[in-house]
Amino acid sequence: MMTVSHDVVIVGGGLAGLRAAVGLCRKYDVALLSKVHPIRSHSIAAQGGINAALANNPDSRDDTWEKHTFDTVKGSDYLADQDAVEIMCREAPGIVYEMEHWGCPFSRFPDGSIAQRPFGGAGYPRTCYSTDLTGHVLLNTLYERAVMMGVTVYPEWYVTALATDDGVCHGVVAFDLMNGQIVPIAAKATIFATGGYGRVYFYSTNALINTGSGIGIAYKAGVPLKDMEFVQFHPTGLIGTNILMTEACRGEGGYLVNNKGERFMEKYAPKAMELAPRDIVSRSIQTEINEDRYFEHPLGKYIKLDLTHLGEKKILAKLPGIRKICLDFIGIDPILEPIPIMPCQHYSMGGIDTNARTATEVQGFFAAGECACVSVHGGNRLGGNSLLETIVFGKIAAGAIDEYLSSGAAVPKEKIVIRRAGDLEARIAALVSGGTEKTFVLHGELAKTMSANVGIFRQRTETEKALEEIGRIKERYRNVGISSPSRHMNYELMNAIELEYMLDVAHTIALGAFLREESRGAHFRTDFPKRDDEKWLKHTIARMADGTNPDISFRDVSITRYKPMERVY
């Protein structure tokens, strides 16, 4: 079995992974592994913008990083670790200017400064953008930088396991999809930047690659997960396809309208209206649907996102990508008619438990971006903070790994990595030998269970039902099989391996939602509709207990200067 060795292995080719690679490759032998080509990573799907207190907008002249911090902490429903939030918001202006200097084509105000638009939950217009393609331009800018600096990229390589032993990470086991080979990769330091778990849900804005397997791999290797019950639902997914209709639609002045012609957000957030935080807007839309104030379409029940009053000129200048998506996928022109939308799973506030330096409790293993939980988003992420988090903590991860390697990192043990590769060989042999259960059937049942029972509104009986169903699917997964023994470009094989990790991830989400008897941020329990700071101002920590079930404990939230108060918009 061929063994590969690098100083640093980065898993994930999105913004967090690329920024870490750029920060390390001049000094170390860095390998970046991505299950797709890096510029097809899910970072490219982010549309609306990246937050930074630049104070360029005429309405944000008094903006500061401290005010950005407060908005983020308040938006998190006070579950975010405030020391980590302060780091992110303080770093934000420098990160945006760094990306600008590297060639990122931001939209501009007439004076040439970087344009900024309003976003939900923000006290000032601080979201920097490039029309509605911000993730696209940021990702391409960083990928070009990585290519220029000679980062070694392994595209279409799936990482299937972490190689850990006695609290130390020695590398990863990868599957080269093009050649059908299992490759043990030894490394002094490993960083996961593998993105979120959207495909655990049936209705999601996420790409098909967002299975959450990176989170599941870390969990299976003994790394704890944090705050997994906090799942963000974006208010405006296109009906039928669930493609994201960016918050910039509302930031530029779009309205949400029910079947009575009402801008109903006035009932739920009279000051912020459509620019309330995402958890509030999603619950408001779902309430309108549940109470029969919806429109009907063959593809489902929906609310209207109305941009028609913005006019053709503004839509073509600020939201051209949204118009093209609507024309291509549902055959409507938002210049002429409203967009049919519904809330969809969108983002993972929880993830791999890390500190503010991206380190985990396993020596030599780091995590950044959506797969990690620092925690800077707490119970609810503000729009514009996800792109910021990826690049800020990708950069911080590079610095932390440099410090770790410079201080004398452990020499990786190849035999540990080879042993884990042998486990994968055995797993593939079992899948090929012919179980009767099909991966796509089990995945479909899991996704429908999660959307139905661990969604925007939750209660005890529904989360219990989800846990029971996940347990049944786990039992059936023992008998899963694949139809072809070929390893070359065998996506059925990879999907079967990933499903095991998806089941573990779903289990931690559902159990956290069952145990947290309060409503905070995106976690809303109809049987416990109030926030309870006395009992629940704490993080949920999930560990693999017995190879199958999570063991849950709790940890205090880091509070610096912002004491919890009522969250009003």
**Residue range 234-346, CATH number:** 3.90.700.10
Q: Could you read off the pLDDT of 494-504 as tens digits, one per residue?
A: 999 999 999 99
With a cut of 70, list the residues of the chain below it in pLDDT: 1
- Residue 382, pLDDT score: 96
State how far the Cα of 503 lies from the Cα of 493, in Å rounded to an integer: 16
User: How far is residue 195's CA from residue 314's CA, in Å, rounded to a whole number?
Assistant: 32
Residues ≥6 apart with Cβ < 8 Å to 113? 54, 56
- What is the Cα–Cα distance from 200 to 266, expressed in whole angstroms? 33
Bridge partner list, 490: none
Active-site choice (170, 250, 381, 520): 250
Residue 158: the pLDDT is 96
Q: How many CB atoms lie within 10 A of CB 559?
A: 15
Domain boundaries, the chain: 4-231+347-413, 234-346, 416-556
Q: Of 142, 133, 116, which Cα lies nearest the Cα of 47?
A: 133
Tokens standing for 158?
A: 């799936």
234 among known catalytic residues: yes
Taking the C-alpha atoms of residue 71 and residue 383, their distance in angstroms, rounded to an integer, is 11
Q: Which residue has the tokens 């209206």?
A: 273
pLDDT at 433: 85
CA 334 – CA 323 distance, rounded (Å): 6
Architecture of domain 416-556: Up-down Bundle (1.20)
Look at residue 548 in the predicted model and tell me its pLDDT. Answer: 81
Strands 365-367 and 351-353: unpaired
With tokens 């599941």, the residue in question is 216
> Domain 4-231+347-413 belongs to what architecture?
3-Layer(bba) Sandwich (3.50)
- Residue 527's identity, in one-letter code, is D
Neighbours of 554 (CB within 10 A): 14
Candidate list 234, 525, 531, 539, residue with the active-site label: 234
Residue 546 confidence (pLDDT): 79
pLDDT of residue 2: 76
**Strands 365-367, 181-192: pairing kind:** parallel
Q: How far is CA 560 from the centre of its chain?
A: 26
d(CA 420, CA 318): 49
Place of tokens 């104070």: 55
